[in-house]
Amino acid sequence: MPPLTSSVDALLMNVYTNTLLKCERFEVSHFHDRSVHLFTNKTWRSNNVPAFRGTSHLNRRGYRSTKISSQVMEQMQSNVFVKEYSEDLPVTSSYESAMEALSSLITRKKRGERSSVGGKYGKLERMSIYLKILGLEEKIGGLKIIHVAGTKGKGSTCTFCEAILRECGFRTGLFTSPHLIDVRERFRINGLDITEDRFLLYFWNCWNQLEEMVTEDLPMPPLFQFLTLLALKIFVCEQVDVAIIEVGLGGKTDSTNVIKEPIVCGITSLGMDHVEALGNTLGQIASHKAGIFKPHIPAFVVAQLSEAMDVIQEVARGLAVPLEVVAPLDCEKMDGLKLSLSGDHQFINAGLAVSLSKCWLQRTGNWEKLFGKQDNLESNLPGAFRRGLSTAHLSGRAQIVYDTSLKSCNSSKVSESSCGDLIFYLDGAHSPESMEVCGRWFSSAVKGKQKASSCFTVENMVQVWGNGHLQYGTEKRDKSYKISKQILLFNCMEVRDPQVLLPKLVSTCASSGTHFSKALFVPSMSTYDRVTSAASVIPADNFSRDLSWQFSLQRHWEKMIHGKDTEVDTVIDTEPKMDAAKFLPYEFLYEDASHCSPVENHFACSAVIPSLPLAIDWLRDCVKRNPSVRIQVLVTGSLHLVGDVLKLLKR
């Protein structure tokens, strides 16, 4: 055999060697003698392994990849350690190239627009065809799926389920949306985001197989359909014991509803959201959500308003679905442990997750193996359930991050007092109901009525980002006196109604004695028509975007504060290298609301800032200039905004 001349060769040798030595856990779908794509351009042979020749080519969309025989993928196994090979890949086969490819699948420029997918097939019919092309049609039944729909809390519920079943000893796959920083967040294996090399392997394999079959009647799948297919591909290839799948939008016609035989289904709290797609009544929305029910497959639902519950029960009866309404989890069952996801509403999601997990264990024949004849969860939860509920993690939902950019936090023990007086409270609430929940959580957190932390362990660990690194430490309350200022950092999509969202948030906070000193309105960095990664460069036009929506938000805010319409000067200097202080004086932070003069276009309560990086810089400078101030920033209104803030803080 010729000497190995690159890390790609080493990768292949590692794959073949491990395949021969260890082949007990992995099975990859047969690809009908087609070639699948891996990144190599070498040919070699040994006495034990057939030769596999790689051929480099440009695919139809101009993304360069190379082929090897499908036998390689069929012999690979999931616990092979894939060596680093990114440096040897063609530039166009890099991770950023994959993001460009994904971006090309976006069929609408903004939320609310109709998708422009061509072809003669409907969405679910297309999905079935795509599954056949990928060789997955018969294999997804072996994933033993938990399928969850809902308006609020479905991501949290899925995350709780994953953590519970992982603690029970099962290999888990979790598919959620949207992602906040990197698309790989959507695909978790055993509680961890899929690695970049694994992602690329599965991504280009799916991409090239689907692209080879593109016709006028069968175009490439739009973004979410492709990501759903990729999730199913990953979970099949990684041989997970259970796949927890979160519905993307609605349920009945959602891409994930290609799943025909889940083990159990769940519906979380429903509310008025995505009305342009699901209908403008709660009953219509409930009909879409209940569309994931399958004949005779058990389903669980949390308490709903009667308008929604009547529809859900009617759908269940029509399909002979055993339906159970689940009560919120009783905190006494946690035996002293705390839910890792903050907010009282999480007890609703936790209760549903417990019921879904128990049903899954029972229907797969694992409950008695693990817990014997114990069937009643009324008195206490199994230890694995408590551990899962106390360690599950989901970014951007009731999450607290201490900014450490101005201070050194290299100590293993990190406290609020030593790690910054700029604290971000992040919650992607974007509906009236979730905005109310967000307001209650924020008020409670800033007043110290609950442990203000994002818990990774039962020791109440605090998440801190400093210089791009994640650090942990036991929280200690700062007893020194600080002047606390609560700031709202807000943006929402134009399909939302700020005249409903902002009053709901402000009134909820005010009822608990929390009042915002200022409101800052900023555009998000991320755009609806592009998929980016954690390493993606901040777009050059980030400082020159249209700010008309942000000024509209400011007008709604000022009207709410002053009780009358105000005119806002929309002329703003957007020089890219503008210093934050030149745009917004630091004195603005301390200016009394009584100084507000809308007639003179002087606002003491709010400001529009042309870019998110500029807003973060201004907040950091305010803290740096005054050590006695503590700024508590609520970031909400959009998961895109939350993700962008996390991306900036991580850097």
Q: How does pLDDT run across 429-462, given as a tens digit for each residue?
A: 998 989 999 999 999 999 884 343 333 322 333 3
Instruction: Check whether 111 has a pLDDT greater than 70.
Output: no
Do 460 and 453 contact (CB within 8 A), yes or no?
Answer: yes
- Residue 553 has what pLDDT? 96
Q: What is the arithmetic mean of pLDDT over 520-546?
A: 78
Cβ burial, residue 215 (10 Å; 0-12/13-18/19+): exposed
Our CA angle for 574, 575, 578, nearest 5°, is 105
Mean pLDDT lowest among 66-80, 256-270, 288-302, 498-512: 66-80
Q: What is the DSSP string of 128-156?
A: HHHHHHTT-TTTGGGG-EEEEE-SBSHHH
Domains of the chain: 120-372+379-390 (3.40.1190.10), 399-409+416-451+480-650 (3.90.190.20)
Instruction: Check whether 472 has a pLDDT greater than 70.
Output: no
- Residue 274 has what pLDDT? 76
Report the sign of the C-alpha dihedral through residues 293, 297, 303, 309, in that order.
Answer: positive
DSSP SS3 for 543: helix
Q: Which long-range contacts (CB under 8 A, 24 or more apart) does 538-542 make?
A: 538/613, 540/576, 542/611, 542/612, 542/613
Confidence of residue 109 (pLDDT cuts 50, 70, 90): low
Q: How does pLDDT run across 575-608, given as a tens digit for each residue?
A: 544 566 667 888 899 887 666 665 555 677 899 9
- Residue 200 has what pLDDT? 96
Instruction: Check whether 9 has a pLDDT greater than 60.
Output: no
- Residue 382 has what pLDDT? 94
Task: State the DSSP code for 448.
Answer: T
Q: How does pLDDT run across 207-253, given as a tens digit for each residue?
A: 999 999 999 999 999 999 999 999 999 999 999 999 999 999 999 99
Q: Which of 11, 224, 56, 235 is nearest to 134 (CA)?
A: 235
- Out of 42-46, 94-98, 642-646, the most confident range is 642-646
Separation between Cα atoms, residue 459 and residue 473, nearest integer Å: 9
Confidence of residue 67 (pLDDT cuts 50, 70, 90): very low
Do 131 and 258 contact (CB within 8 A), yes or no?
Answer: yes
Dihedral angle computed from the Cα positions of residues 313, 317, 318 and 323, in that order, rounded to the nearest 10 degrees: 70
* Residues facing residue 423 across a β-bridge: 402, 632
How far CA 167 is from CA of 195, 389, 444, 521, in Å, comes to 21, 10, 30, 42
How far CA 610 is from CA of 47, 129, 145, 555, in Å, comes to 64, 45, 44, 16
Instruction: Check whether 568 has a pLDDT greater than 90.
Output: no
Q: What is the DSSP string of 486-510?
A: EEEEE---TTS-HHHHHHHHHHHHH
Do 291 and 251 contact (CB within 8 A), yes or no?
Answer: yes
Q: How does pLDDT run across 481-507, given as a tens digit for each residue?
A: 678 999 999 999 998 899 999 999 999
Q: Is 487 left (phi over 0), alpha (psi -120 to 50) or beta?
A: beta
Q: How does pLDDT run across 305-349, given as a tens digit for each residue?
A: 999 999 999 999 999 999 999 999 999 999 999 999 998 999 999
Does the global pTM surpass 0.85?
A: no
Do 124 and 98 contact (CB within 8 A), yes or no?
Answer: no
**Which residue, chain included where needed, has tokens 């009525």?**
449
Q: Which helix (H) or strand (E) holds 646?
A: helix 639-650
Instruction: Check whether 474 has a pLDDT greater than 50.
Output: no
Pairing of strands 264-267, 299-302: parallel
Q: What is the DSSP string of 312-369?
A: HHHHHHHTT--EEEEPPPPGGGGTT---SS-STTHHHHHHHHHHHHHHHHHHTT-HHH
Pairing of strands 518-521, 606-608: parallel
Instruction: Check whether 58 has a pLDDT greater than 70.
Output: no
- Residue 53 has what pLDDT? 34
What does pLDDT average to over the chain? 79
